[in-house]
A = this chain, B = another copy of it.
């Protein structure tokens, strides 16, 4: 079955995502819906981009990603559909795709504006339902991107906060907490180091499994988002050590 994977900040309480899926299955009754998450913080494009990037590569080839965190709904920002070598992405052109697309071979980008495919609407508040869902529906039926809208040359990027490198330090930061209170940093590879600290607290251990960490301390592990994470075994490091998004992790380089 054709998989449609969905990532939004719509929440699950108001039925928004139900309406989106209804529209898609009205166009194509045999898609497989897989929810990535609908709990992105309202309007938080960066978090959406981060989680899309952490998950999309685990989906079957040909998956269509409905990726809608859209603070600019109803404005000039373009609704776009992107075809890469392996996937399709449908989203507002506001950067939400930009972390994932960095790894992908892009074949085509279009602005979704075909008058033939989009329903008439009397409100500009819900493009998820009225623009992005029909686009996903038609793409899932094999409709070529040329018919979805006019071609674009490029897409909007957002800044990913890269770690800072000095003579003696690599300085990263916490970019997100997960459900378990682990703090995901922006550090992908760990250089040889003398010492690591966060908020003046020394990192006890760098480990491969959570339970190898020192209990009641902050430890470091390569996590499932593809980044190093600070954690405390079987408890929330976020709460225990009062960590915040943006907190710096300082890695003193080995000399």
Contacts and interface: CB of A to CB of B under 8 A. Distances in A.
B13 A39 contact: yes
Contacts of A179: 10-11, 13-14, 16, 42
Nearest to A221: B125
A129 to B, nearest CB: 7
Given A12-B37, A22-B60, A58-B19, A208 B1 contact: no
Interface string A224-237: 10000100001010
Copies per assembly? 3
A29 B29 contact: no
A36 interface: yes
A101 interface: no
Given A15-B55, A55-B19, A73 B37 contact: no
B1 A223 contact: no
Interface stretch (A145-153, A198-206, A209-217): A209-217
Contact of A54 (B19, B72, B75): B19
Interface string A1-28: 1010101001111111111011101100
A180 interface: yes
A43 interface: yes
3 closest A-B pairs by CB: A74-B209, A11-B179, A18-B36
Interface of A: 1, 3, 5, 7, 10-19, 21-23, 25-26, 29-30, 32-40, 42-43, 51-52, 54-56, 58-60, 63, 71-75, 122-126, 129, 178-180, 208-212, 221-224, 229, 234, 236
29 contacts: A7-B15, A10-B179, A11-B179, A12-B37, A12-B38, A13-B39, A13-B179, A14-B51, A14-B179, A15-B51, A15-B54, A16-B178, A16-B224, A18-B34, A18-B37, A19-B54, A21-B34, A22-B55, A22-B56, A25-B34, A30-B32, A33-B34, A72-B211, A73-B210, A73-B211, A74-B211, A125-B210, A125-B223, A125-B229
